[in-house]
Amino acid sequence: MTDPSRPRWVRWPRTVAGPGGPGPLAYGADYNPEQWPRETWKDDVRLMQQAGVNIVSLGIFSWATLQPSEDTWDFAWLDDVMDLLHDHGIAVDLATATASPPPWLTTKHPEILPVDHAGSTVWPGARQHWRPTSPVFRRYALALAESVARRYADHPALAAWHVSNELGCHNVHDYSDDAAAAFRVWLQERYSTLDALNHAWGTAFWSQRYGDWAEILPPRLAAANPNPTQQLDFKRFSSDALKDYLRAECAVLHRVTPDVPVTTNFMVMDGDKGLDFADWAGEVDFVSNDHYVVVDDRALDELSYSANLTSGMAGGERWFLMEHSTSAVNWRATNPAKPDGALVRDSLTHVAHGADAVCFFQWRQSAAGAEKYHSAMVPHAGEDTEVFRTVTRLGQHLRRLAPVSGTRRKPARVAVLFDLDSWWAAEQDSHPNASLDYRREGLDWYAACLDLGVRVDVLPTSRSFEEYDVVVAPVLHLVPAALRDRLVGFVERGGHLVTTYFSGIVDEHDHVWLDGYPGALRDVLGIRIEELAPLLDGEQVTLDDGRVGTLWTDRIEVTSEDTEVLAAYASGPQAGRPAITRRVPERGSATYVSTRLGAGGIAPVLATVLEHAGVESELPSALRGRVELTVRADETSEYWFVINRTAEDVDLAGLADAADVLLSTAGDEEALRSLPGRGVAVLVPR
């Protein structure tokens, strides 16, 4: 594993600003010129200049065009595109083009195709149909990466390398024989002996004991619920297998062009897909992320959380928004267009959380193919559209924000932890409640912070949280001894810990901590739970202060003199027993919430903790909850990003009076006092 305290992401792609001081923010898109005739390319660069585009990601799905057969290469068209872009002042984040193998390769080597858990082949016809552990695929892909790298090593347009594309988006869990062989090697490294593996996997259960490494398989389709530790280790292995592939491409690129930074686009909100990006972050020279807004009541909070978490993965350093959408996507059941103001607000929310690049999928909306109804910077209807006018306006906004480039996020006093092992383990099968939603609970706590007007940092558990005043750990289900010790130490030093139902239950092998839940956190919380008592879908319980809980309850006993009951159940099987507890030792505190309260129900709990910790909102009371505040800073300046979370005008008086205005999407700075719905202002406090 990479040491997360020593990030490598110190190198940033060159944009048109050239050397000397921070350049302007990067702005652009995935550019797929191979889908268009050459006449269109000229129109593309004209419009890119008009929009203020200064970087594009090129060649992502170009393998079949660059290498039409095993022995034929065609770089001429890409040479022309690179030259054309450079002539128009546009830098290139050049893909290694390995994302989607061409038909000749899968015809010649069908053994690179992934296999699903039921043993069916995943056929070509879409994209990313390759086994992460296939030595044959790797040989061809690395040869392509090397050819691309050598060809363009000295091209003046080259600003960065883009490894593959969204590694693992469609192929992370492959159950093939290649995967089985690689899984065994990974397990031997992890456990050394079969005895250790048999213990970790609890194979005394259901007669699963292994007598030979060769007997071990990926968790393929089984007669009943497969071994949970085997499932968890297979998730960890699958992420590591793609990390290993990422390393292999990075090694080629760093060897050929040691000075060109390398990235790959993460999907930090898609932890359920099975990729541990917090762990991968140490492999790249700068962190990139893709984000697509969800379509539900949490959309805006989810957007902010995603950007915030990406910053956490990047250690607070600037990062690259590699993809988002100007408007609709094509891959949900219904794909609504974005309402007015959302395009700019969504982009600037990422910048507010440390993105120094705003890029879209994609530049020109495809006329053919599976993504023809996905929005782009240039829509089907062309340049005479509100989308393109807005895109051009966004380019102007980003130029005004040039001073922000290179600044870091100013740490908040409150952290919400993001723990992928807990997400994976808590949502496995055969559990008390299959409706448990790790991401949703985390978002509820995050939203409650925003509703209270309090700045918060989302942090992977592997990053240092010790310096925060308040640490919220929703559904921290899997707690190894080392993490338990960190949390206990945090409270002992005066920190305020908040956690929820189904936390502290298992260790790193998914073995239950015995002698009463929440085993690992029992002492620090000063409670003991005899039995978990989840609720049926639609079932509700009432707390004695009128709040409503869903999803979960516990049969809680208070075991420590310094633990108080903040709220008790007033209805349901646990009526009269504690629902929310808080242990208050001499310093610090540890709060436990045993039911799902939703953001509205969480806010009063959080307010109590924040008050105890002395954390106050930096916003005037009239603005709390209505705007989101983030702060980026360097040694000399602070930049306050104020994002209107509502669709109505918001009066910024009290905040803007003591600041200069760097940007207001209201356009007219006089209009700043009234920030329009979905508007964003960037203020420089005086």
Residues labelled as active-site residues: 166, 323
CB of 21 to ligand GLA, least distance (A): 32
CB of 301 to ligand GLA, least distance (A): 20
Assess contact for 163 and 96: CB atoms under 8 A.
yes
CB closer to ligand GLA out of 387 and 498: 387
CB of 331 to ligand GLA, least distance (A): 6
Distance CA 642, CA 67 (A): 48
CB closer to ligand GLA out of 290 and 419: 290
CB closer to ligand GLA out of 371 and 618: 371
Q: Scan residues 32-51 and list those touching ligand GLA (CB under 6 A).
A: none
- Per CB under 6 A, does 292 bind ligand GLA? yes
SS3 for 567-609, per residue? EEECCCCCCCCEEEEEECCCCCEEEEECCECHHHHHHHHHHHH
Binder of ligand GLA out of 32, 128, 165, 574 (CB under 6 A)? 165
Binder of ligand GLA out of 43, 371, 634, 638 (CB under 6 A)? 371
CB closer to ligand GLA out of 366 and 559: 366
**Is 165 known to sit in a ligand binding site?**
yes
HSE-CB at 258 with a 13 A cutoff on CA atoms is 1
- Per CB under 6 A, does 162 bind ligand GLA? no
**Is 41 known to sit in a ligand binding site?**
no
- Per CB under 6 A, does 626 bind ligand GLA? no
- ∠641-327-27 over CA atoms, to 5°? 55
Residue type, 365: Q
Please work out the total of residues on this chain that contact ligand GLA, with binding judged by CB under 6 A. Answer: 9
- The DSSP element (H or E) to which 107 belongs, if any, is helix 103-108
Binder of ligand GLA out of 44, 270, 323, 356 (CB under 6 A)? 323
Q: 82-110 burial, b for 16+ CB within 10 Å, e for fewer?
A: bebbeebebbbbbbbbbbbbbeebbeebe
**Is 265 known to sit in a ligand binding site?**
no
CB closer to ligand GLA out of 335 and 559: 335
CB of 290 to ligand GLA, least distance (A): 4
DSSP string computed for 259-275: TS-EE-EE-TT-GGG--
Distance CA 38, CA 27 (A): 23
Binder of ligand GLA out of 17, 180, 217, 329 (CB under 6 A)? 329
- ∠590-592-594 over CA atoms, to 5°? 175
- Per CB under 6 A, does 421 bind ligand GLA? no
Assess contact for 475 and 597: CB atoms under 8 A.
no
Please list the residues that pair with 358 across neighbouring strands.
Answer: 27, 321
- Per CB under 6 A, does 183 bind ligand GLA? no
CB of 427 to ligand GLA, least distance (A): 20
Quote the DSSP letter at residue 519: G
Binder of ligand GLA out of 31, 201, 361, 388 (CB under 6 A)? 361
Q: What spatial distance separates the first Cα and last Cα of the chain, rounded to whole Å?
A: 44
Report which of 147, 136, 144 is spatially closest to residue 98, judged by C-alpha positions: 144
Assess contact for 652 and 680: CB atoms under 8 A.
no
CB closer to ligand GLA out of 57 and 503: 57
Assess contact for 391 and 326: CB atoms under 8 A.
yes
CB of 550 to ligand GLA, least distance (A): 25
- Per CB under 6 A, does 628 bind ligand GLA? no
β-strands 563-568, 650-651: how paired? unpaired
Binder of ligand GLA out of 44, 166, 437, 628 (CB under 6 A)? 166
- Per CB under 6 A, does 346 bind ligand GLA? no
CB of 334 to ligand GLA, least distance (A): 15
Residues 6 or more apart from 587 whose CB is under 8 A from it?
492, 493, 494
96 to 135: interface string for ligand GLA, x by CB under 6 A: ----------------------------------------
- Per CB under 6 A, does 290 bind ligand GLA? yes
Tell which phi-psi region holds residue 80, choosing left (phi > 0), alpha (psi between -120 and 50) or beta.
Answer: alpha
- Per CB under 6 A, does 295 bind ligand GLA? no
> What is the contact surface with ligand GLA in residues (CB under 6 A)?
165-166, 290, 292, 323, 329, 361, 371, 374
Which positions make up the binding site?
127, 165, 331
Which positions make up the binding site for substrate?
127, 165, 331
